[in-house]
Every structure is written in C-alpha cells, then in structure tokens.
Structure 1
Amino acid sequence: AMVLQVFALMWLRTTMNYQYRYGHTTREAIRILYREGGIGRFYQGLMPALLQGPLSRFCDTAANSGSLSLLAMFPVTAGLPMSVQTLVASAMAAGSRILLIPLDTVKTMMQVEGQAGLQMLLKKCRENGIQVVFAGAVASTAANFVGHYPWYFSFNWLQANVPVATVFSHKILRN
C-alpha cells in the first residue's frame, strides 16, 4: 500500500516541495518540472521515498508497541493511564524519526533540485558539516509527535476498552 501511495502522490509532493523552494503557482511549478525532465522529473528521489515511507510507519508502530510492552513490564509504570503511556510512545516515535531525517533531506533535495540535488547536498555537507542533513529535525520531530499522539491514543484506548470479538462479523466491525 505504501509503494502505491508513493507512486500515486509523489508527483504532487515534488510539485509542493518545488513551490516551497521557488514560490511558483502549482501550474507554473508543474510546467517547469515537466520541462526539466518529463514525467520522470516528478519522481526524482523515488528510492529515498520508497524507503522512508515504510521505515516511518515501522518506527511509529514499533515505538507504540514497544513502549506499551516496556511500561507494562514494571509495576511502577504498568498502571499509568493510557494517555501517559501513549505520550511515552509518541515521544519514542518522534525521537526515532530523527534517524530518518537524513533520508528525508536526500529525498527533498532530489525532488526540488532534480539530479543535481544530491551533489548540491554533498557540497553543503563538505562546506558546513554533516549537521546539514539534520536541518529541520526539531520541527519534523514536533510534527511527528503531534500527528502520532492523537491517532495512537485513540487506537490504544480502543484496544484496551473494546472487547476482543470472537464472532467473525464482530471481528470485522472491531478492526
């Protein structure tokens, strides 16, 4: 599903990232990008995008499941309210996303600058250090936390409070 999503929407994300950088209207950005390389230009950074999507979801899910399991192991944390447990899980998920920021940076540079993007990024790293690939990490981490918490709190609360169904039709409704 994630691969399909990347292929279906990457052209739009490339257009948006190009607009953020250069300030064109959507129509202008699409024309410019198409002139720079046809349909393929909209898919510069495809490999990083195909890696980033599934890795991001994996980190979110692993942070949630792992945090809840870890908290349940210790008597002092086992009784914490679900809101607090999910807060810990969301902090872990947001923290794990920092590890994926360089991949996002590579993807975005390729989307915005095309084939020259990777070379431009390497030049920036040589001139300013590796921290360049972590630019925007705080904002990205905050955005991840804000997106993670409400979804996983709802999910965790429902998992804890809605009984597991045994009848097939009820299983479909529950899940």
Structure 2
Amino acid sequence: MVITTNQQSINDNHNYDNRRSFNNLPVHPGECLVPIRVDWEMVKHFNMCRDNLETWHIGPNKVLVAFAPVAIDAKAAAIKNFYRDVREYFASFHTDDTLSLDQFLEEAESEDDKGFEPASPENLEETVLLRMIINDLINQVHIINPKYGRILDLICEDYTKGQILEELHLGKSQGYADIKAAQDLAKKLYFGE
C-alpha cells in the first residue's frame, strides 16, 4: 500500500489523500484523491480493491464510496460531480430523508428563522457528511466570491439576517440582495446549473 500526500489548495478543507485509491495505484505528483460513488457492479467490473471502499450512511440510505485520483486543479469539479451523483442516487429512492440544500436555503432565507437548522439526524455519521457537503459547497462559494462565502458562513453560525448585515456593515437593501445572491450561487453550484 502506497499513500502519497500532495499539496492541496489553501481553500481545501477536505483532503482524502489519507485514503487509498480504488485500485491501490499510487497518487502521482499533481494529483489528489476524491470520493466517487460506486456500486457492486462497478466494483466487479473494474476489479476494485474492496478493502479501499467505504460505506457512508446518510439517513436510511447507504452510499458505497471509492477514491480515485484526479488532477489537483480538477478536484473541485470532481467533488461537485460526486455530490451531484449522490443526490441523484438518493432521488432514485424518492424518500424525504435525503439531503436538502433547498431546505437549508429556505430556512436561511426566512426573516423569522435564525438560519440553518439541519433535520434532526438519527446518527452522527449523517450529520458529519451533511456538514462536509455544506462546507465543501461554502468553500466553492468562497473561491468564487469571498463576500458571499462569508455570508454563508454566518448563516451556518445561526446569524439572523439583521446580524449578518451588522457583521458585514451592509445596508438593508444591499445586504438582503447579497444574502439572496449568496444563496442563489450556492444553489447553482449544488445543482450544477
């Protein structure tokens, strides 16, 4: 087993290079590992090393995850694709227990609510995965627009809209427009629009 650690972007909070690639090949310089959703047919077809797979539990659903090398500069797109694939996979079950960015954005948009309140998860793993997904999404927003990323950080810290305006020294109309724009950007990134 060879595990290679590569230099990651300063905005990258999720380094998967402590994992092993699905086929045990080393990660080359300029590459990093990213999660990919797999199924048992893929595992057989690509002769994946089963010891390198992980099962991530999210609500009542389980996701079989492998790790594949990609160029470091393609990491954000690969992770975005992973989240899209997981979301589509969950949607195929038609349950109400899947991740809901829409709920996150709606609660954050409400003037009466304080902000993000995840559905009460039944176990720690799904809370951790949801937090990882939201953190990766916010990191992507930070890269595109640091101001909008900061707004989403404050939403996650249960700031009210008024507190966000005060913290960022924004006027009411411009502040509300910025909050909505930050939420719209997050939604666009999440859904790959």
Bin the TM-score by the shorter chain: under 0.3
Between Structure 1 and Structure 2, the one with more helix by share is: 1
TM-score by length of 2: 0.26
Please identify the structure whose Cα radius of gyration is greater: 1
Structure with the bigger RCO (C-alpha within 8 Å, sep 6+) is 1
Tell me the TM-score normalised to structure 1 length: 0.28
Higher strand share: 2
